[in-house]
Amino acid sequence: MLALLSVSDKRGLVPFAQGLVGLGYRLLSTGGTLEALKGAGIAATQVSEHTHSPEILGGRVKTLHPRIHGGILGRLELEADREEMKAHGIEPISLVAVNLYPFRQTVASGAAEAEVIEQIDIGGPAMVRASAKNFRHVTIVVDPDDYPAVLAEMEQQKSVGEATRRKLMRKAFAHTAAYDASISAWLSAEAGEPFPGELSLSFRKAQDLRYGENPHQRGAFYREHSAPSEPTVGFARVLQGKELSYNNILDLDAALGLVLEFPEHPAAVIIKHNTPCGVAVDDSLVKAYRTARAVDEISAFGGIVAFNREVDEATAQAMAETFLEAVIAPSYSQAALQVLAAKKNLRLLEAGAALASPTARPRAQLDGRSVSGGLLLMDRDAVEPELSWKVVSKRAPTPDEERALRFAWKVCKHVKSNAIVFASGSQLLAQGGGQTNRVDSVRIAMQRGGQALQGAAVASDAFFPFRDGLDEAARAGATCVIQPGGSVRDAEVISAADEHGMAMVVTGVRHFRH
């Protein structure tokens, strides 16, 4: 029996090869894999000796040979194939362990184009696909984590059963598909083409979820193949708590995206059902958290919290006062972890030092959303375009009002449309969103904020189509307003602001969030 081993990822290679030899396999191998086997004292034959053809073109061509692919693809149930293989001296290969050149790692290292292109594997995918196609006769192993199970089954049953071979076949085709997708994505990025004519997506399953958004829906969580330099939910380390749910992950991502808007100061964000219900910055994290929680204590119950500084003991003690679902932060002090350990179901995620950087920013990437029969893709609304804010009212905002407007504008981007946000220079005061008209959003925010809105700044994610929304904001106590502008009734709305003595700034940028 012949087995061909040619792997980039050499985890578990030696014990796997030793197990195969113990089961009576003869090994074929190439390059670094062959060296690793011989270095461990394991006998293996170089592929060029088996094919009687030298490796050529600097190793670019070595396994692309009839004695390799004929040995893999032979349909042993067909007499014609067996006779043809015999006539050409082709021996069947019954197990292939191959994983591909480290293309993604090479790209991530910042290597030059020529080096990256050399890491586009040709022979490897050909062998993987051939083995998977002929799974009835060939066991294809692309993941070193599968070595122990394959060996155990072979030892127990003297062969690999069809159910396992089918499972490995599916995994093999997914492996090559993901590999090709990563090459395609890199080429598109190099060409400055974010929306190519053909789009291939590649993600690795991180975990199965107990269910999706509701218990009757199935769910799973997939993440990218390698961690980006920016903080992400996908690669945050879970320190304690119950298994993350579908809704937890959505809300954690929303919380992380919003807290990244305030890198200069300690900030706390509380999210409920993908909507901000508390946002504040302060000179200490515990103050920021207590202020954020005070915005809407009722909604904060069962909320998701994000911080942009290490959680200390004081902040942990403040969090322990309220039932929370999950927290994401750069890190946690040992004292904080001891406090929160009593909350055994509380999920704690550590996103890493990048989240605490004063220069941290939301990740600029693409956002996708599935629709029936298709996929919508766009740039993430992460980085604010260069703004030329224009004062259009008779009165310009004061310095304090300008700080409040900037705070409100950052939060407004994260509230569902039609979004209305009332804020001071350091905290969210009230928000209204997800309504079919802007006036209702203003009224919802007024109901929530009450007297706290006196002297507030108000932000609107899109223009006021009529003056009624602005009139309501003024009635609530707002003294200044920021909005994109662009309505056919802008003059009417600006006139209303002047009537109320409000300062109005237009940005020229809309922040719809559906």
Please give the full DSSP string across 331-358, using - where no structure is assigned: -B-HHHHHHHTT-TT-EEEE--GGGG-T
How far is residue 302's CA from residue 314's CA, in Å, rounded to a whole number? Answer: 20
Written as one string, the DSSP assignment of 446-473 is: HHHHGGGGTT-EEEESS--SSTHHHHHH
Distance CA 473, CA 478 (A): 6
Structure tokens at 257: 């995206």
CA angle 263, 379, 191 (to 5 degrees): 110
End-to-end distance of the chain based on CA atoms, in angstroms?
59
Question: Where do the DSSP E strands lie in 137-203?
Answer: 139-141
Rounded Cα–Cα distance for residues 178 and 47 (Å): 27
Strand 303-307 versus strand 324-329 pairing type = parallel
CA distance 433 to 275: 9
User: Is 273 annotated as catalytic?
Assistant: yes
CA-nearest of 48, 50, 72 to 59 is 48
Q: Name the percent of the chain in helix, strand, coil, to the closest 5.
A: 40, 20, 40
At 346, the amino acid letter reads L
E strand spans, 230-323? 237-240, 267-272, 275-281, 303-307
Of 133, 225, 265, 343, the catalytic one is 133
Residues, the chain = 514
Catalytic residue among 10, 265, 273, 343: 273
Spatial neighbors of 472 by CB under 8 A, at least 6 apart, are: 439, 442, 443, 446
Question: Contact 251/326 with Cβ under 8 angstroms?
Answer: yes
Question: Is 65 a catalytic site residue?
Answer: no
* Nearest-angstrom CA–CA distance, 140 and 159: 13
Q: Tell me the torsion sign for CA atoms 247, 200, 119, 67.
A: positive
Rounded Cα distance between 309 and 241, Å, is: 20
- Taking the alpha carbons of 191, 510, 456, 290 in that order, is the dihedral positive or negative? negative
Distance, CA of 440 to CA of 262 (rounded, Å)? 28
Distance CA 274, CA 292 (A): 16
The whole-angstrom separation of Cα 97 and Cα 157 is 19
Cβ–Cβ < 8 Å for 433, 417: yes
What is the rounded distance in angstroms from the CA atom of residue 87 to the CA atom of residue 290? 81
- What residues are labeled active site? 133, 273
